[in-house]
Structure 1
Amino acid sequence: MKAFTLWFASLFIKNHTHTSDPDVRAHYGAFEGWVSIIGNTLLFAIKLVIGLAVNSAALIADAIHTLTDSATSAVVIVGFKMSRKPSDSKHPFGHGRIEPVATLIIAILLFVAGFELLKQSVASIMSPTVGVASYGTIAIVFATALAKEIMARFSFILGDHIDSDTLKADALHHRTDAFSTLLVIVALIASHFGYLQMDGIMGIGVSLAIFASAWAIAREAVNPLIGEAPPKNLLDDIEGACRAVSHVLGVHDIVVHNYGENRIVSLHIEVPHHLSATAVHEIAEDVEESVGRITGGMVVVHMDPINREHPHYQEVLENVRTVIAEDDRILTFHDLRIVGETLDRGTILFHITLTDDNSTTDHQTVLSDTRKKIAARFPHLDLLIKIAPMYSYNP
């Protein structure tokens, strides 16, 4: 089905292979949205007519669920259209985050629909009035479930193709509707055996499925809005691009901000201390260009001069490594520097990265323990140790 879906999309979307282009992404969103709206409207009409004919609360509820799919698809279209708007004075980072906002709206609409269906289903249990549907009618309802599953796969394929959580959310909505229709079929079959309350019970099952779908969609939508961690493979690519530049000794404090298709990356680069300001500037530009090709965004580089030729650098390095390796709370350290030429007077500076299971209240304990261990090895040196924030990645 993937080949057919992408071929079908190519008939309506110009430059369909340029999936990183905001305009192309918007066309994919509009395409998926309109296909969903047309399909959902037809299925809503079929379910509603049958539901009214047999007086099935579950099927009428399912029809309304299908109609809400059209509303969420409309949100998809509007969200993609607004997200492609260029930057302006009030939104200098662009409008890319409107896409997850649209996804969150879809989740809210689902919660509302699920609550209304829950109330209607409970009333149906208290006063069951469902009629008996023919097996031919049940077969038609089953066909609508198959149609919704096809629509779900259609949307999932497009969502994966352009890496869009919004389209995947719409796909999940389609799949939930297909599942709820199967519950309705159980209720319609049960009516043949006199279990009229099964209609309301299955209606509750439909509403719970909608709640589960809404929660999953909302969770995916909120993550990019509050600032989720960048994927590990992207961070590894950034590190590799930095280390490939001549004279780069190390990279740390990688921070990635996403604003839809606009991405801002900041990082620290370690370079030999003896290089001239001009040489350091050229290295920074090379890193910015190299990382920019990978991320497609703006890159800001901070340069840290490291003196590995210091007469006591290796001694200090090995001792710090030993202390860090003995503490399970610490993942790694970076940016090690020594101020002063001797171990009788001067300062040792470095940053440490903690494991994820350390709370903020533990930070001071870790710092205190690390200082004591380093001070025992170098009693005459001052120590300046800092903890890297959670939002920065340190290899």
Structure 2
Amino acid sequence: MMKANEEKRESVIVRTNIVGILTNLILVIFKAIVGLISNSIAILLDAVNNLSDALSSIITVIATKLANREPDKKHPLGHGRIEYLSAMIVAGIIFYAGITSLIESIKKIINPVKAEYSNITLIILVISIIIKLLLGKYVKNIGEKFNSPSLVASGSDATFDAILSFSVLASAIIYLLTNISLEAYVGVLISIFIIKSGIEIFMEAVDEILGKRVDRKTIAEIKKTICSIENVYGAYDLVLNNYGPDKYIGSVHIEILDSMTAEEIDPLERHIVNTVLEKHNIYLAGITIYSMNTKNEEIIKIHSNILKTVMSNKEIVEFHAFYVDMKEKTIRFDIIIDYSVKNREEIYDKILNDVKKEYPEYIFNIKVDIDI
């Protein structure tokens, strides 16, 4: 089922990109011809922008094909991150196109060349704007439906291209009405936005490779799924490692009763793995256990008191993994301190001192977890 979904996703992404490639190449041909005939730098740069879009789509198609290759001995977790590397290549192409366009536009400002617009020029610009708007909406919708960052970015870029083309059209109309040429300045404007687009795509790819935080809604939904399973009383420290769009491998801590045996825990863990994979398309490679005290009323009271003490500190995001060993006289629990807090060690020391005052006869083991 998972393989079938991946194949469908690949097929849709490739098909959508091919539509984008053909559309952009047609626009490149018409705009290049019109730009050369009218001697318009703005229209020529608009054609260059469309050409960079077509090249970007070609690279995306190749990367999607490579990213969906089967895992092998050298790459046991697959090749999904190729999509992020391809995004960086696309960003480089866009950035180069933007710099080149900016240089040419500045040259035209220094040494202006008279443009000659015709009705055909204006008609082609209007048609290209409409085509780009429709293409942008189509590509973005497909990208959102199949969780393809590259398609969503391409769709947004196409919509923005329509706005840039409109600025070219506006400068042409202004020239025809007033004989004031703004097209070289419009070329600078287009170039700046092309450069900006390249930088944004590059930084987004870098974020994904570095390990961007998974959105909290997704994390909350997965934890909710895990906690809905019988005999699971909490899900914490969910770590998801990204190996390409829609390809996550992760681990989680679950809280279960201290009375459960290995014979009962093993099928529970397998059930959790299968449920999360089926519902969220995420494979949990590791499940770690927190045991929950259930056999002693005094321990339950200790838990309640320490919980109040710890959570009275507004800097604490979460408290979990609480366990008391009355024989060894130890208490252990985990806390998560908000990332915005700078004096994290001070907060830790304060909590440790507070709980020691309440229960001086116990040795405390407090672990600070990462706010993932």
Q: Determine the C-alpha separation between the residues in 2 that align with 1:376 and 1:151.
A: 66
Instruction: Please list the CA deviations of residues 80-102 of structure 1 after superposition, one character each: whole Å capped at 9, or x if unmatched.
Output: 11111010111111011222222
* 2:303 equivalent in structure 1: 317
Query: How many residues in Structure 1 have an aligned counterpart in Structure 2?
Result: 369
Output the amino acid matched with 2:334: H
Instruction: Report the Cα distance in structure 2 between the residues aligned to 1:272 and 1:388, rounded to whole angstroms.
Output: 22
Deviation at 1:38, TM superposition (A): 1.4
Distance 1:91 1:19 in 2: 17
Residue 158 (structure 1) aligned with residue 170 (structure 2): no
Task: Answer yes or no: is 1:366 the counterpart of 2:350.
Answer: no
Where does 1:1-395 land on structure 2 (aligned, <5 Å)? 21-192=5-176, 193-196=178-181, 198-260=182-244, 261-299=246-284, 300-341=286-327, 346-359=329-342, 362-391=343-372
- Counterpart CA distance in 2 for 1:68 and 1:39 is 13
Pick closer, same or farther for the CA change 1:282–1:223 going to 2, 3 Å: same
Deviation at 1:19, TM superposition (A): 10
Distance between the aligned counterparts of 1:326 and 1:113, measured in 2? 55
| Counterpart Cα distance in 1 of 2:267 and 2:47 | 63
Query: Unaligned 5+ residue runs, structure 1?
Result: 1-14
SS at match of 1:248: coil
Equivalent residue letter for 2:235: V
CA distance in 2, matches of 1:41, 1:246: 56
- The whole-number CA distance in structure 2 between the counterparts of 1:118 and 1:354 is 47
Q: Is the 8 A contact 1:176 1:209 kept in 2?
A: no
Note if contact 1:102-1:166 (Cα within 8 Å) is conserved in structure 2. no
1:389 counterpart letter in structure 2: I
Cα deviation 1:95-137 (Å, max 9, x = unaligned): 1122222223222211111111111111111111032312442
3-state DSSP class of the match of 1:204? Answer: helix
Shift of 1:251: 1.9
Q: Which TM-score applies when normalising by structure 1? A: 0.88
Structure 2: where are the runs of 5+ without partners?
Answer: none
Find the residue that maps to 2:241 and give its secondary structure: strand
Deviation at 1:20?
Answer: 6.8
Percent same amino acid among aligned pairs? 23
Find the aligned partners of 1:19 and 1:318 in 2 and give their Cα distance.
47
The structural deviation recorded for 1:385 is 0.6
Query: How large is the Cα RMSD of the aligned pairs?
Result: 2.1
What is the CA deviation profile of residues 313-354 of structure 1, one whole-angstrom value per residue up to 9, with x for unaligned ones? 12221221221232111012101111224xxx7111100011
Please state whether the residue corresponding to 2:353 is helix, strand or coil. Answer: helix
**Contact 1:336–1:351 (Cα < 8 Å) also in 2:** yes
Contact kept in structure 1, 2:338 and 2:371, CA below 8 Å: no
Deviation digits for residues 215-270 of structure 1 (CA, Å, limit 9, x no counterpart): 33334333322212223333223222322333222221111122134321211112
Please report the TM-score for the alignment, with normalisation by the length of structure 2. 0.93
Give the residue type in structure 1 aligned to 2:331. Answer: I
CA drift of 1:311 comes to: 4.4
Q: Determine the C-alpha separation between the residues in 2 that align with 1:20 and 1:317.
A: 47
Q: Give the partner amino acid of 1:95.
A: H
> Does the residue aligned with 1:312 lie in a helix, a strand or coil?
helix
Deviation, structure 1 residue 147: 1.2
Whole-angstrom distance in 2 between the partners of 1:102 and 1:149: 25
> 2:228, 2:162 → 1: CA distance?
50
